[in-house]
Structures are given as structure tokens and as C-alpha cells.
Structure 1
Amino acid sequence: MDDDSGEGRWERRTGGLLALASMLFLAAYAVLVLAHGLPEAWQDLCLAAIFGAWGVFAVDYAVRWRLSGQGPRFVRTHWLDTLVLVLPLLRPVRVVRVYEAVQRRRGEPRLALHARVITYATLSASLLGFAGALAVYQQEHEAPHATILTFGDSVWWTCSTLATVGYGDVTPVTPLGRTIAVGLMSCGLALLGAVTGSFSSWLLQVFSRQGDEERPPGS
């Protein structure tokens, strides 16, 4: 059933706008990081888009805090929202919530629970991986003794980190780059655990149904 609270109604009204702001933020940041030699006017435009999008996030956070009526407890109960406000590069991950709203019909999810978990984890990993690759590349490619010299290197490193493989052929050398690495490792473990657990649960349900169908009547 849909949330009919003031906060719930606000989220439904602003979901599309916030999704667009998230994509604008990520696109502007990507251009700023990857487009070397960008004219100063375009740099200013990208920065304006980044800060404008962040301003939208801040207004949304403040309004939902006010509508929740929870006071300071809102920060604890909405810890993910607080985190993405402080670290807006994580904001595109919340686009998954818009995808969930699209998948619902008459208050019921159109996808099975296991499919939803796998789909949301895949979307989250893709968005988080791209944002993490941009952030690491920005910090690393000009650092002394850096091994992540191109955006391709950063994407490769991000994929191996999120997959918890970690070949070690390219590694971050800056303090901020290593901090980002710790965050990606933690997210990779959480997302991989969610997908693995959901897939295992689905297999157990399938095998259980098959066992019930094959069992002779009355046994």
C-alpha cells in the first residue's frame, strides 16, 4: 500500500525531478572529470549544474525532515538520505527508488521479490561503480607513482573492487582514493551478498516446489 503521509506524498511528487537532478549531477561531474582542456565557460556551467543539483537535494532533504515530524531523529532513521546529501556522488543510486515506483501497479510490485533484489542490486552497482570510477580517476591520474592513469584503468579497478576480486595490477595511491576504495569494497560485499542470498533463496523455493510436485499423493 502506498504511503499516504505528507512525506510519502512529497516523495511521489518529486521523484522524477530528483532522478533528473541526480543524472544531471553525475553527467556534469563526468564531463568535468573526463573532458580535459574544457573551456572555462563550460567548466563554470558544469559546476553550476553540480551545485544546482546539490541544492535541489538539500531542499528535498529539508522538506522531508520537516514533513516527517521526527526532529533530529530524522538523521538516524534516514541515514542513507543523510549520507547521499553529504556525499552527493552516491545520489544516483537512489534512482533505483524511482525504478521501483515504475515497477509497481496498484500498489503491488510487478517483479517477484528475488528478481527485484537482483535488479536493484545490479542498477545500484552500475551507478555506484561509474561514480566511484570517476572519483578515483579524478584523484589518481595525476598523482605521483599512480598506476590508475586512464579512465579505463579506473573502470577496470572499480569492477574488480566491486566484485571483491582485487587483482592488484592497478591500485589507488592517494589517501582519498584509498578511502573511496574502502567504501566500494564495503558496497561490493553488501551488493554481492544481496544477490547471492536472493538467488540462493529462489533456488531453494524452486527445488521445494519441484519436490512437492513429485511427491506421490497421500505420502
Structure 2
Amino acid sequence: MEDDSRKDHGRGARWERRAEVPLACTSMLFLAAYAVWVLAPGLSGAGRTACLGVLLTAWAVFAVDYAVRWRLSGRGTAFVRTHALDTLVLLLPLLRPLRLVRVHQAVLRRRGRPRLALYTRVMVYAGLSAVLLALTGALAVYQQEHAAPDASIRTFGDAVWWACATLATVGYGDLVPVTPVGRVVAVAMMICGLGFLGAVTGSFSSWLLQVFARESAEDDAGPPGS
């Protein structure tokens, strides 16, 4: 049983490595199709059909990836419980482009290049995730809000400004969502914003402490040869 579990884990890891870049490309297509769908309501019928086809095909690819990883894990329903985020992304595919931040790391592993330092990786990944989340959140809120009665978010520029202010936990209050779905998106972005901010500030603080500790140790040791 233990050998079978190890084999399943090995196959699952190989699948994830091979599928990372193709899935990232699919995520980019999904995000692009969704952006066109939202920002070009006057698109021809054929154009909207093409966008819908890309969205559904991409979601099908994500579903196949989830099913394969579930099967290779050999853990049955426990896979769903231990991969709650993956399950959420499958149900809300608009969050899938956030996985794009892992592509650079996957490419570096394939080429055998050294990885970025831990603190740098955390800050870079959090920053890229924040940018992608701001874009997807702005698209989702704009889609729900721009035609709603009494809405203050009327243009995509308003939505981007609101998304940036929300993720930065500033909350100016000049633009607020009024629809139920828009408010749900707002709550999710507030939580993510706090998480990203905590990750970046925590990593930066740890890096500073490490630098100061190294400098203090060098000062205590004195100049070479003393």
C-alpha cells in the first residue's frame, strides 16, 4: 500500500510539472476571453460565441486537470478536503489565472536554473497575484455594476481604481459596489488584500532582520586578520 501511495504521488508530481505551463497558457486565454466578453458587449454574435467557446473549453481543461490530479493522488474524497483552494478555483474559474505566478518558477526548474530567494519569491508572487486579482476583480465587478441602478462604478477605469483601493486596504469609499455579487467579490478581495499585504510585509521584515543579524555578526567578528 505504501509503495502504491508513493507511485501515485510520483505520477501526480510529474503530471503537475508537465501540465503547469499548458494550464498557464489556458488561463491566459480564459482571462483574455473573459475580458473581451465583459468589455466588448457590442461584439458580433460570432465573436461572443467564440469567446464563450474559449471560456467553456478552458473550464473543461481545468476540470480534466482536477480530475486527473484527484485520480493520481489515490486519496479519494480526502483530496477534495485537502485541496480546498483547487476546488474553489474549479468552481470559480475566474480565479484560475492566479496560478500564472507559478509559471516562471516551473520554467526555471525545467532549465535547471537557481530559484529566487525565499523572501524574494514571496514578494514577487504576492505582487503578481495582486495584479492579476485586481484585473479579474475589476472585470467581475464592472460586469455586475456598470448597468445596475444607483451604481457608482460605471466604467472599467472606475472598476480598476476600486479594485486597487480595495486590495491596498485603503477603502476611500468614493466607489462602492451595490449589487450582491459585487459585494461578495469585494469581501473576497478585502480578504486577499490583507493576505497579500501580510505576506509582503512579513517577508520584507524577515529579510531586514536577517540582513541586520548578518551585519551585527560581521561587526562582532571584526575585520579579517584581526
TM bucket (normalised to shorter chain) is over 0.9
Structure 1: 5+ residue runs without aligned partners?
none
| Aligned sequence identity (%) | 67
8 Å Cα contact 2:21-2:106 kept in structure 1? no
Among candidates 94, 102, 108, match of residue 107 of structure 2: 102
2:13 corresponds to: 8
When normalised by structure 2's length, the TM-score is 0.91
- Cα distance in 2 for residues equivalent to 1:74 and 1:18: 20
Within 2, Cα distance between the matches of 1:39 and 1:213?
68
Q: Which amino acid aligns with 1:11?
A: E
- In 1, Cα distance between equivalents of 2:113 and 2:79: 27
Measured in 1, the distance between the counterparts of 2:156 and 2:181 equals 17
Of 193-202 and 34-43, the range deviating more from structure 2:
34-43
What is the number of residues matched between the two proteins?
216
Match of 1:212 in 2: 217
What residue in structure 1 maps to residue 137 of structure 2? 132
**Aligned match of 2:165:** 160
1:1-219 matches, cutoff 5 A: 5-104=10-109, 109-217=114-222
Uncovered stretches (5+) of structure 2, i.e. residues with no partner: 1-7
Contact 1:103 1:111 in 2 (8 A): no
Write the distance in 1 (CA, Å) between the matches of 2:150 and 2:202. 40
Letter in 1 for 2:142: Y
Cα distance, 1:17 vs structure 2? 1.2
Q: Which letter does structure 1 place at the counterpart of 2:116?
A: L
Contact 2:167 2:190 in 1 (8 A): yes
Give distance in 2, aligned partners of 1:154 and 1:202. 34
Distance 1:122 1:34, change over 3 A: same
Shift of 1:123: 0.9
For the residues of structure 2 that align with 1:187 and 1:42, how far apart are their CA atoms?
33
Q: CA RMSD in A?
A: 1.7
